[in-house]
Structure 1
Amino acid sequence: MSNLLPINPFTLPLPALQATLQQALQKPVKDRPYTAQIMRQNPTAFLFLIDQSGSMDELTTYRDQTVSKAEAVAQIINQTLFELLLRCQKGDEIRHYYDVALIGYGGQSSQQANLLWSGTMADKAFLNPAELAQATIRVDEFATERTIRGRTIAVTEKRPVWIEPVHRHRTPMKSALLLAESLVQQWLATHAGKDVYPPTILNITDGVATDGTDEDLLACSERVRQLHTPDGHVLLMNIHIAPERGKAVLFPSNASELGNDPYARLLYDMSSEMPPPYHTDIASLFDLDQRPVYVGMCSNANMDALVKFMNIGTPTQSNQHFSHHMRPDP
């Protein structure tokens, strides 16, 4: 077990937290996993691991504009957080369906990953939706057009911003995985014994880790994927983004689809096999044949693929799997 970090909102002393975690992990996964309802009494958790290394300054295309990979990823993360927040709003109330953590690696240090919330939320790891609504850096406004009943009208869109594009230093991915492991352990300890939908971790990177070997990364990933609630094991999904070149590998069914790419094989071995309830969404969004197995990784993906990947991993409006699990509790 990695060292647990005493952070808000976890108030148990470290030994008690570790004991509670051990008790929680002794409870086996049920026969029909990934079926728990996501509601206020039983939220789930999302952790975003974001590569902010120097190579993220390389240019790519997103929304018909040429921007750095760091800029495109920041926009996509901000949009995903906004959609998560919208799913939690019921009238004037913001309901606690999710806890969200942002981890950056490379932006502040070549050795250590770091939490990315700022301002009054800078000391927190997970934010609930009400806290997320208060954690924006700013709200940008964009002029755009919409077609309503055949008429095109000018509208102003508001886009909340939680993170800025950063591209500095090297790529301490191992540190990011260790931090994610610690945060998930704490989250599981606070939900010990509950039939809650397991946390989902999405790791977005454009390169190779500089703080550990392949064996180190595989060991970290295996420990993370062995963590579980009664509803299933933690899902770890990895996506390697690239400019508009190279052959993309999307949710492969077996290692033979990766060719001779050792980095793609590493991501494959680090990633979770996606549960069957995800299969229809994966096949539809990525135009893939129906298969018995999909592994939650993408290699050499462009920004459009990243957006679709985020739709699979988080409960955005287009994700039917999570829509099925969202319970409109009173």
Structure 2
Amino acid sequence: MSELQPLPSYALSAADLQKTVQELLQRPIKERPYSAQIMRQTPTAFIFLIDQSGSMDEQTIYRGQSLSKAAAVAQIINQTLLELVLRCQKGDEIRHYYDIALIGYGGYSDDKANLLWSGDMAGKTFLSPAELAAATIRVEEIATERTIRGRTFSVTEKRPVWLNPVHRHRTPMKSAICLAESLIQQWLAAQNGKDVYPPTVINITDGVATDATPDELLASCDRLKSLHTMDGHVLLMNIHVSDEQGKTILFPSKAAELGTDQYARLLYDMSSEMPAPYHTDIASLFGLDQRTTYVGMCSNADMNVLVKFMNIGTPTQHNQRFAANLQANGI
């Protein structure tokens, strides 16, 4: 705990924090979980875990370009962060619907995960959308094409950058999971038992953890997933990005779908079962059959699948339920 630099509202001693969290976890989850309104008074939280190990230097194709996996993932994360900011913007005001944290593992240390905000926000844990908007590293101009009424135009878009591509060292994934657990404990204490939509953790990786056995990694994931608000348990989603030929496994409903692929089975066991309100979006976006169960993992995914996966994991434009929440509350 001592190495974190939390926002002032999270300032509790380690002993007081543990006591507060344990008291909060004694409160039962309500009968209809994952139904809390995401509002300024009751924001939710997102934590992105980014594999920055040396193997992320391998090449992949994204938007027609050959890039390192680290560069492609950085572009996708930056676009996701921008969408979160835009979703919170109303006129000149950027409203506090989310708390957002970014954790990298491998890039700056062989055995330890790191918080990734830079500049004035370096060392911070969660940022509000307004803080996020002010925390960009730079703004890039990117040439792209748009098609309007059948005509294609070349345009230059300005895109803010929060995350630079990094690819060094090994893969201390357990350290990232444990750091996310610490951040969520702080966040839960700051919410003080309010009926808030539970945090979502999205882990993006291209390989196997080097700082833990599978059993140790599963134990850390189980501790993370055991944390909850009144509205439900923390959601942990895992995606394995790859440019290799092979079957892509998306949101399976049972372990038998994974065959003998031991790494896919590990991702399955690490991940949360997705709540019912997500099911329609998952089936529609990925062209899957309607099921009663979807587990929040993907194995052997390309970058286009990662973009869709991020859309499911964060309530942005595709999420009609989130939009309805805002409209119902006059936001």
Q: What corresponds to 1:36 in structure 2?
A: 36
Alpha-carbon offset, residue 20 of structure 1: 1.8
Contact kept, 8 Å, 1:36 with 1:325, in 2: the verdict is no
Is 1:279 equivalent to 2:279 in the alignment? yes
Instruction: Within 5 Å, give how 1:238-317 maps onto structure 2.
Output: 238-317=238-317
Which runs of 5 or more residues in structure 1 are unaligned? none
Indicate the larger mover: 14-23 or 242-251.
14-23
Superposed CA offset, 1:54-78 (max 9, x none): 0001111100111110011000000
Distance 1:72 1:282 in 2: 23
Residue 253 of structure 1 aligns to which amino acid in structure 2?
A: S
SS at match of 2:224: helix
The RMSD of aligned alpha carbons is 1.6
Distance 2:253 2:259 in 1: 13
Contact kept, 8 Å, 1:4 with 1:14, in 2: the verdict is no
Alpha-carbon offset, residue 311 of structure 1: 0.4
Q: What corresponds to 1:326 in structure 2?
A: 326
SS at match of 1:326: helix
Distance 1:285 1:159 in 2: 25
Superposed CA offset, 1:156-185 (max 9, x none): 311110011110000000000000000011
SS at match of 2:266: helix
Instruction: Within 5 Å, give how 1:1-330 maps onto structure 2.
Output: 5=4, 7-9=6-8, 10-326=10-326, 328-329=329-330
Taking structure 1 as the reference length, what is the TM-score of the superposition? 0.96
Residue 162 of structure 1 aligns to which amino acid in structure 2?
A: W
SS at match of 1:236: strand
Contact kept, 8 Å, 1:45 with 1:200, in 2: the verdict is yes
Residue 91 of structure 2 aligns to which amino acid in structure 1?
A: G
Contact kept, 8 Å, 1:115 with 1:125, in 2: the verdict is yes
Residue 119 of structure 1 aligns to which amino acid in structure 2?
A: G
Distance 2:5 2:136 in 1: 24
Count residues with an aligned counterpart.
Answer: 329
Q: Residues 329 and 15 (structure 1 numbering): CA distance in 2 closer, same or farther, change over 3 Å?
A: farther
Taking structure 2 as the reference length, what is the TM-score of the superposition? 0.96
Distance 2:3 2:214 in 1: 24
SS at match of 1:322: helix
Q: Identity of paired residues, percent?
A: 72
Q: Residues 248 and 151 (structure 1 numbering): CA distance in 2 closer, same or farther, change over 3 Å?
A: closer
Contact kept, 8 Å, 2:4 with 2:125, in 1: the verdict is no
Contact kept, 8 Å, 2:6 with 2:126, in 1: the verdict is no
SS at match of 2:287: coil
Residue 17 of structure 2 aligns to which amino acid in structure 1?
A: L
Indicate the larger mover: 126-135 or 3-12.
3-12
Q: Deviation above 6 Å: which 4+ runs of structure 1?
A: none
Q: Residues 70 and 270 (structure 1 numbering): CA distance in 2 closer, same or farther, change over 3 Å?
A: same
Residue 307 of structure 1 aligns to which amino acid in structure 2?
A: V
Superposed CA offset, 1:223-252 (max 9, x none): 111100000100000000100411111000
Alpha-carbon offset, residue 24 of structure 1: 1.3
Residue 254 of structure 1 aligns to which amino acid in structure 2?
A: K
SS at match of 1:280: helix
Contact kept, 8 Å, 1:23 with 1:192, in 2: the verdict is no
Residue 292 of structure 2 aligns to which amino acid in structure 1?
A: P
SS at match of 1:48: strand
Distance 1:247 1:273 in 2: 21
Residue 7 of structure 1 aligns to which amino acid in structure 2?
A: P
Distance 2:222 2:130 in 1: 32
Q: Residues 12 and 62 (structure 1 numbering): CA distance in 2 closer, same or farther, change over 3 Å?
A: same
